[in-house]
Structure 1
């Protein structure tokens, strides 16, 4: 989409589009080698899958994963006889007569999944993270020190301690509370010691009823040597913070042991549940897996205080993620974290499946329970998984979703909604998204409720956590605002419209399909110069779209890889409309994130993307283009919570999302990326240059 020059000043007049270079001959890739159908569906819907899809274990699990309260028996792992001993095979052959990128990769044998039964759900109470606050000094700046250090963390009472890289010895890290208008300077000190604490392996799928990614244990696979010697090289990013480039946690500005990252957060944005996590270049998937996956940073302000929402003991941050664990020779869980990556067979490059694990953790504990009063609670929920989306459903003892009116959305990623939105008895979160919900347990005294994951591709157990509602409040109930559908929350909220956001610059990003190569993130620009060769077939880097107005538009690729020149030259406090179009079929959504940029979703449309094709260049690398235009199919729905202030958006297959937002007043270099950790580490992250408007006006034309 082109910049709207009709509302731009002279410095924003678009430069002439340079002539397109002649296209080298390319060969379309047959659709048969793009097995999108092997990916789990990303269309989140209400569904109920009991504990294991593997029916041989269903009865056993029903007895072990009791929904009643614990009987007081000592916690222990439940081990069943006959666990398969490691004994897989190594793949040596190629495919199609050529070399195979996964040649030599180990394939474990099928397994009946008995190690999945080792841990009883709802055995351990939900941990509450310690809270760090600091009063401002004489200069008006508050200061804290947060240490990154190696520690043993108890993930379940039946497990030995798990070695992890942590913030202040815990997983998640401590909750940091800050105040709008009070800058906070944090010294993030790297005191990590010892080797990388996670066993990392690569395998092929076992082709059994239980897929390899759903099984604990390396099962004969050998640790990856490069991961085993990973240095503790880290850089903290405060996700959602509107800061300058020096405070954003640039991925290449990491520090090693004894190093200190000194960062000042200006805190000049509305109250929100921000969160911090490691963002080290190329290895974020590994450092976050080891325990640097985050902690909450709760920014407060007067408007949030005035909303009268539950607070103190009645406000609980919840970080949800999935993990896997290694096993010993007998099949017993060792407590050691396992980063098991499954490689896809028969692709044109080494193509890893993004990590999912069979165990769901909330605040660092596997399947915890939480005792609550029969009263309203404010839950600040974060999906800190790599790729797994959650569709959280609050159900009763009869496995029925609670009726509408029990739970309400009151905020989204970047702050309060203007009014409460009903329907939070079930809601979806992709990685890095946050939900701010109020659940009223008042009518459920003495009852036991559960959160389960109702997505179409949950972990082997759909359990997330249990809520045990006390018969009566533990103490006097504090006064609070009754939350109903439409309850006013943020009178200062303004809905962004095109007339408000003027002048505006357009950006468009295409997500190319995974299979037979990794998904890429293409930055595009609109052009009036349609290559003549397009009449004879697809042209590498040229994509045509028939949009929702019926207009045929032509775009060309201007960047795709991290090392390509910067093409997003933005202005501080400049309005921008970002459009993402996902060319994949059904699959896990891509959580798209732009640093230092808060936005509101304007459109969510569905497109027929069947006109896309990959192309093989003469050098054997892959390009792509459209053999026929991608076509608008139907308008989608922007949900109530999604209409609030956001910094992450869920982009499903065949979807086009348009969002309008504004960069902050602080200049610097930033990134935009998919928030699936494996994606941002491999192919799906690009730089942004953000400069003051007056500086851009003096820049040479090629940088304007």
Structure 2
């Protein structure tokens, strides 16, 4: 441990949620974060009223099934310098993490406790008296309150947004070449740049932007260090041949080699719907690590017909790549992935279900806490959650709505006005925000704890980026109520296939499973005849939320838990949230391309640790 600028910091690799008995305490100024539950400093009289008797020690117990039961008690009181003991009786790792952060984005306090272990946290004597909301970073639906009593202490400071948002380079050519290489990237506003594995030398990589129906080839060249090994690239949400889909164990790009992927951007001979996709590494057993190191980029498929709808375009159309990472003191990525070779992850403190990679800092287009100067008009924000595990429930600090017009896979049939938009890993939302009438004001995009469930995995709490409304706008954009009708499909009356997402144990340890089995690239789990339409059920039998991705086809959400899906799930989709006990019925017609394609959880540690299967289109 080391004292740095009045804060106690942990040296070394940083924290991977799932590592037991790690304490990281950060203090030196809480943050009033618009859109999240802030720290509330109390006047001395109020603090005394909140805690009649000063306490030097307090204990929080997390019982078996803590995801549901939460913290016990959910509110504790301690004086400055007191000791908080956290007893975890559960089979999962949990944390007690401050919602409020300092100006660098670090939580004011943060303790991780492994399964059936105990850990302690010393409340800094310099922490101001007040109420501090806390949550579990792994299961953010678990929430509580710490009341700190005493005199003096630091005054909470607001967060700063020091970097102008970086818009990735856009590539529009019919034939594109992108080198994969190690490069330095400006992530933090000050200090050294960060070494990352990149597409084209940037993080995220260049945005590929192509008109629908136009044959596109992208050649990826593996110029990464030799130790990186072979790579593969998946165009997430695309409809392409099996060989061009980013297979996890075949058609790999070796060190120093190159491979060309062909994307027709057509389905049944017709142009695909316009979409907001992304491309990323999909290497078996290494997807989480390779994505963490930087191998991600955005992919826009455009349609001239959209212009007739009058949606914001040009400079008013902004793609936002959201993800999280942890860094060392010199701004380098931590290495939270256990070694040990094939299946070594099946035992020990990071074995499933304790294998979640969560970064402390949330990035937008590869930058921590950026700002974007906008004009007082309507902006189309294309939101992508590219995180390995974290979910974000996005909202604006002044309460103005986000009008959702698409899922990322396609436009919705109707626009939907929403107060917040929940996005899990790999999910996208196409939204319009109207900044009219806000000249000279600042609006913050935050993620808040989701409140629509008491079970499963929740969402992060943080201020993400700032919009600075300046100047004037001459704009004629609009958001029509009706957008694009969903293509008709003849949905079968009966479910053809049930995919069950579970947690399984065997003699080697624990693993995430589909239908009770670990992924095997040599095994086909289900076959379907080309030209047929099928109804599939995605079912979650675990106590953790999963975000399930289906490759290849144009998927329709038929029902959620036997009921009509909410309005924002009534368009085409490729990734669905499954909370504990939930099931979602989806349907597609299998067209054009025979071969093997993937079904998997897009919480990338889960994918790497068994929760992936293959279906094969035949005929």
Q: TM-score, normalised by structure 2?
A: 0.70
Equivalence for 1:598: 554
Looking at secondary structure, tell me which structure has more strand per residue: 2
Q: What is the DSSP-based 3-state SS (H/G/I as helix, E as strand, rest coil) of the residue aligned with 1:276?
A: strand
Per the TM alignment, residue 256 of structure 1 is displaced from its structure 2 partner at its CA by 2.5
Q: What is the DSSP-based 3-state SS (H/G/I as helix, E as strand, rest coil) of the residue aligned with 1:304?
A: helix
Deviations 1:546-581 (A, max 9, x none): xxxxxxxxxxx7x55426742311223321211011
Equivalence for 2:245: 248
Check 1:118–1:129 CA distance in 2 against 1; reply closer, same or farther (3 A cut): farther
Per the TM alignment, residue 518 of structure 1 is displaced from its structure 2 partner at its CA by 4.1
- The answer for unaligned runs of 5 or more in structure 2 is 1-61, 71-80, 84-97, 127-155, 267-271, 339-344, 451-456
Write the distance in 2 (CA, Å) between the matches of 1:395 and 1:40. 30
Q: What is the DSSP-based 3-state SS (H/G/I as helix, E as strand, rest coil) of the residue aligned with 2:163?
A: coil
Per the TM alignment, residue 598 of structure 1 is displaced from its structure 2 partner at its CA by 2.2
Equivalence for 2:428: 434
Write the distance in 2 (CA, Å) between the matches of 1:309 and 1:238. 25
Q: Does the alignment pair 1:166 with 2:198?
A: yes
Q: Does the alignment pair 1:567 with 2:532?
A: no
Check conservation: 2:558, 2:587, Cα contact below 8 A. yes
Write the distance in 2 (CA, Å) between the matches of 1:513 and 1:367. 36
- The answer for unaligned runs of 5 or more in structure 1 is 1-32, 42-53, 66-76, 96-101, 135-141, 195-229, 327-332, 524-556, 606-634, 693-704
Equivalence for 1:454: 448
Equivalence for 1:688: 615
Per the TM alignment, residue 323 of structure 1 is displaced from its structure 2 partner at its CA by 0.8
Question: Out of 248, 260, 264, which is 2:258 matched to?
Answer: 260
Deviations 1:92-151 (A, max 9, x none): xx99xxxxxx9xxxx99857799xx999541111111110011xxxxxxx2111111110
Q: How does 1:188-199 map to 2 (within 5 A)?
A: 188-193=220-225
The structure whose Rg is larger is: 1
Q: Does the alignment pair 1:419 with 2:411?
A: no
Question: Out of 330, 333, 336, which is 1:334 matched to?
Answer: 330
Write the distance in 1 (CA, Å) between the matches of 2:217 and 2:100. 50
Q: Which has the higher contact order (CA 8 A, sep 6+)?
A: 1
Q: TM-score, normalised by structure 1?
A: 0.62
Write the distance in 2 (CA, Å) between the matches of 1:61 and 1:522. 34
Q: What is the DSSP-based 3-state SS (H/G/I as helix, E as strand, rest coil) of the residue aligned with 2:238?
A: coil
Question: Out of 293, 317, 320, which is 2:319 matched to?
Answer: 317
Question: Out of 185, 208, 211, which is 1:176 matched to?
Answer: 208
Per the TM alignment, residue 459 of structure 1 is displaced from its structure 2 partner at its CA by 8.1
Equivalence for 2:497: 507
Deviations 1:591-622 (A, max 9, x none): 111110221212211xxxxxxxxxxxxxxxxx
Q: What is the DSSP-based 3-state SS (H/G/I as helix, E as strand, rest coil) of the residue aligned with 1:392?
A: strand
Per the TM alignment, residue 348 of structure 1 is displaced from its structure 2 partner at its CA by 11
Check 1:454–1:470 CA distance in 2 against 1; reply closer, same or farther (3 A cut): same
Check 1:563–1:483 CA distance in 2 against 1; reply closer, same or farther (3 A cut): closer
Question: Out of 153, 166, 187, which is 1:127 matched to?
Answer: 166
Question: Out of 279, 282, 288, which is 1:279 matched to?
Answer: 282
Equivalence for 1:608: none
Question: Out of 632, 655, 660, which is 2:582 matched to?
Answer: 655
Q: What is the DSSP-based 3-state SS (H/G/I as helix, E as strand, rest coil) of the residue aligned with 1:338?
A: coil
Check conservation: 1:344, 1:351, Cα contact below 8 A. no
Check 1:603–1:181 CA distance in 2 against 1; reply closer, same or farther (3 A cut): same
Check 1:666–1:61 CA distance in 2 against 1; reply closer, same or farther (3 A cut): closer
Q: What is the DSSP-based 3-state SS (H/G/I as helix, E as strand, rest coil) of the residue aligned with 1:439?
A: strand
Check conservation: 1:36, 1:515, Cα contact below 8 A. no
Write the distance in 2 (CA, Å) between the matches of 1:410 and 1:470. 25
Q: How does 1:192-211 map to 2 (within 5 A)?
A: 192-193=224-225
Per the TM alignment, residue 180 of structure 1 is displaced from its structure 2 partner at its CA by 1.5
Question: Out of 553, 567, 577, which is 2:535 matched to?
Answer: 577
Check 1:560–1:448 CA distance in 2 against 1; reply closer, same or farther (3 A cut): same
Question: Out of 591, 599, 603, which is 1:676 matched to?
Answer: 603
Equivalence for 1:472: 472
Q: What is the DSSP-based 3-state SS (H/G/I as helix, E as strand, rest coil) of the residue aligned with 1:159?
A: coil
Check conservation: 2:448, 2:461, Cα contact below 8 A. no
Per the TM alignment, residue 504 of structure 1 is displaced from its structure 2 partner at its CA by 7.6
Per the TM alignment, residue 640 of structure 1 is displaced from its structure 2 partner at its CA by 1.1
Deviations 1:651-693 (A, max 9, x none): 111111111122331112111111111011111011221123x
Write the distance in 1 (CA, Å) between the matches of 2:325 and 2:157. 15
Write the distance in 2 (CA, Å) between the matches of 1:637 and 1:287. 37
Per the TM alignment, residue 339 of structure 1 is displaced from its structure 2 partner at its CA by 3.5
Looking at secondary structure, tell me which structure has more helix per residue: 1
Write the distance in 2 (CA, Å) between the matches of 1:251 and 1:578. 23
Check 1:121–1:654 CA distance in 2 against 1; reply closer, same or farther (3 A cut): farther
Check 1:83–1:275 CA distance in 2 against 1; reply closer, same or farther (3 A cut): closer
Q: Does the alignment pair 1:520 with 2:512?
A: yes
Q: How does 1:395-410 map to 2 (within 5 A)?
A: 395-396=397-398, 401-402=399-400, 406-410=401-405
Check 1:663–1:307 CA distance in 2 against 1; reply closer, same or farther (3 A cut): farther
Per the TM alignment, residue 449 of structure 1 is displaced from its structure 2 partner at its CA by 1.0
Write the distance in 1 (CA, Å) between the matches of 2:100 and 2:356. 30
Check conservation: 1:391, 1:453, Cα contact below 8 A. yes
Per the TM alignment, residue 494 of structure 1 is displaced from its structure 2 partner at its CA by 3.1
Equivalence for 1:217: none
Check conservation: 2:184, 2:196, Cα contact below 8 A. yes
Write the distance in 2 (CA, Å) between the matches of 1:314 and 1:436. 13
Q: Does the alignment pair 1:236 with 2:237?
A: no
Write the distance in 1 (CA, Å) between the matches of 2:106 and 2:446. 24
Equivalence for 2:363: 361
Deviations 1:55-76 (A, max 9, x none): 99xxx998964xxxxxxxxxxx
Question: Out of 352, 370, 373, which is 2:372 matched to?
Answer: 370
Equivalence for 2:291: 288
Q: What is the DSSP-based 3-state SS (H/G/I as helix, E as strand, rest coil) of the residue aligned with 2:617?
A: strand
Write the distance in 1 (CA, Å) between the matches of 2:337 and 2:157. 22
Check 1:165–1:324 CA distance in 2 against 1; reply closer, same or farther (3 A cut): same
